[in-house]
């Protein structure tokens, strides 16, 4: 990481992951933070991107910005491609101009779900939704960058904002039972855990001791959305009934992979970390929400 280009730029700073990451960044030594979100800087505007970079020359960009409305993307794929694809290409080019590293957050939804073992970084993506396709386009542009890291994660949640955990806890306030699909399996991932891993990657970049390329990070273990919902109820000590249903009984605009567990061996070894078990992270998060 070039030391004369000092800014560490986080896009999507007001999003679920962005908020946690920027909160943690305040504690990092030797970085000059530059945080942007949609209302300050639309990443689809290449002129605005270049102007921002000129004013805040980046040493490293962490792109957490994204079009994340999975179902809506089916009816507006151009918009999803613009934010998750074309804009990422522009951002990657800006990074190359400044010899800056780019850590780009991507998704398990680039896979079609047809495997029954955790997906490897070397497995070929085959997205089955417009959102997954748009993210895959973005990934490919980052991988052309010699300082590009694609960090795929899955089923992200946190104590704030709208995500599966907060949605389930909201629903039980209004209803006595909840139906949840049981035939899609993945790994829930606490955004705080992911942010810590991003911090470790930044440290490795600063020490020049990480290879560019694709990495997978998710909390360890796996479950279905149904099992996830049951665990949320248990963590919250709520007696509500969760009823398992097949995806066919819960029509959604976008198809989701049936099995999208990510193999995380590569990042575990690269960072020499133990990855928290999903239920342990969930318990921390639910306690925080209830408090
Ligand atoms: N959430 C998940 O389950 C999940 C799973 C795997 C991977 N990911 C990936 O992880 C990353 C972070 O996810 P998240 O859950 O933190 O998403 P999020 O809460 O939706 O945050 C994304 C942020 O990007 C902003 N944004 C949207 N369009 C933009 C644009 N054109 N220019 C600048 N900013 C823009 C959004 O602003 P507005 O809110 O104002 O639109 C929002 O603040 C995303 O890349 C996502 O694809 C998420």
Closest atom of ligand 1 to CA, residue 43: 32
In whole angstroms, give the CA distance from residue 264 to residue 258: 19
3-state helix, strand, coil in the chain (%, to 5): 40, 20, 40
Res 86: pLDDT: 98
Cβ-proximal residues to 236 (8 Å cutoff; 6+ apart), any chain: 169, 286, 289, 290
Determine the distance separating the centroid of ligand 1 and the alpha carbon of 61, expressed in angstroms. 15
Res 170: pLDDT: 92
The first and second tokens of residue 136, run together, are: 């895959």
Closest CA relative to residue 6, chosen from 94, 144, 99, 112: 99
Res 3: pLDDT: 52
Res 169: pLDDT: 93
Substitution candidate for ligand 1 out of 68, 106, 155, 216 with most atoms within 8 A of CB: 68
pLDDT of 291 higher than 90: no
Q: What residues are annotated to the active site?
A: 131
Q: What is the pLDDT of residues 85-108, one digit of tens each?
A: 999 999 999 999 999 999 999 999
185 neighbors 139 (Cβ within 8 angstroms): no
Q: What is the pLDDT of residues 25-62, one digit of tens each?
A: 877 777 799 999 999 999 999 999 999 999 999 999 99
**Which residue's C-alpha comes closest to atom 8 of ligand 1?**
107
Q: What is the pLDDT of residues 223-248, one digit of tens each?
A: 999 999 999 999 999 888 899 999 99
Mean pLDDT of 256-282: 98
**Which residue's C-alpha comes closest to atom 15 of ligand 1?**
16
pLDDT of 215 higher than 90: yes
**Which residue's C-alpha comes closest to atom 24 of ligand 1?**
65
Determine the distance separating the centroid of ligand 1 and the alpha carbon of 38, expressed in angstroms. 10
Position 4 confidence tier, pLDDT thresholds 50, 70, 90: low
* Residues with C-beta less than 6 Å from any ligand 1 atom: 11-12, 14-18, 37-38, 42-44, 64-68, 83, 105, 107, 135, 153-156
Instruction: Give the chain's mean pLDDT.
Output: 95
Closest CA relative to residue 110, chosen from 89, 88, 136: 136
**Which residue's C-alpha comes closest to atom 21 of ligand 1?**
15
Mean pLDDT of 144-157: 98
pTM: 0.97
Q: Which domains does the chain have, with CATH numbers?
A: 7-159+189-220+262-276 (3.40.50.720)
Res 161: pLDDT: 87
Res 30: pLDDT: 74
Closest CA relative to residue 91, chosen from 56, 142, 54: 142
Closest atom of ligand 1 to CA, residue 63: 45
Res 5: pLDDT: 55
Closest atom of ligand 1 to CA, residue 13: 43
């Amino acid at each position: 990481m070039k030391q004369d280009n000092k800014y560490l730029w986080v896009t999507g700073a007001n999003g679920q992951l962005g908020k946690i990451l920027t909160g943690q960044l305040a504690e990092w030594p030797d970085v000059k933070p530059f945080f942007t979100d949609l209302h300050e800087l639309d990443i689809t505007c290449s002129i605005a991107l270049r102007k921002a970079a000129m004013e805040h020359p980046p040493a490293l960009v962490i792109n957490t910005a994204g079009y994340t409305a999975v179902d809506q993307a089916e009816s507006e794929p151009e918009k999803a491609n613009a934010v998750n694809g074309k804009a990422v290409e522009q951002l990657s080019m800006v990074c190359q101009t400044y010899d800056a590293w780019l850590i780009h957050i991507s998704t398990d939804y680039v896979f079609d779900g047809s495997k029954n073992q955790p997906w490897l970084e070397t497995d070929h993506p085959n997205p089955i939704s417009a959102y997954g396709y748009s993210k895959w386009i973005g990934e490919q542009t980052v991988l052309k960058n010699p300082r590009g890291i694609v960090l795929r994660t899955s089923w992200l949640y946190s104590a704030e904002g709208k995500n599966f955990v907060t949605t389930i806890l909201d629903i039980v306030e209004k209803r006595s039972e909840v139906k949840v699909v049981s035939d899609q399996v993945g790994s829930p991932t606490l955004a705080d855990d992911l942010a810590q891993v991003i911090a470790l990657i930044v440290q490795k970049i600063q020490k020049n001791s990480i290879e560019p390329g694709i990495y997978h990070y998710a909390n360890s273990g796996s479950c279905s959305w149904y099992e996830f919902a049951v665990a949320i109820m248990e963590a919250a000590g709520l007696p509500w009934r969760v009823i398992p249903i097949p995806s066919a009984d819960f029509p959604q605009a976008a198809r989701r992979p049936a099995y999208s567990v990510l193999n995380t061996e590569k990042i575990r070894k690269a960072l020499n970390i133990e990855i928290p078990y999903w239920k342990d992270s969930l318990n921390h998060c639910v306690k925080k929400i209830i408090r």
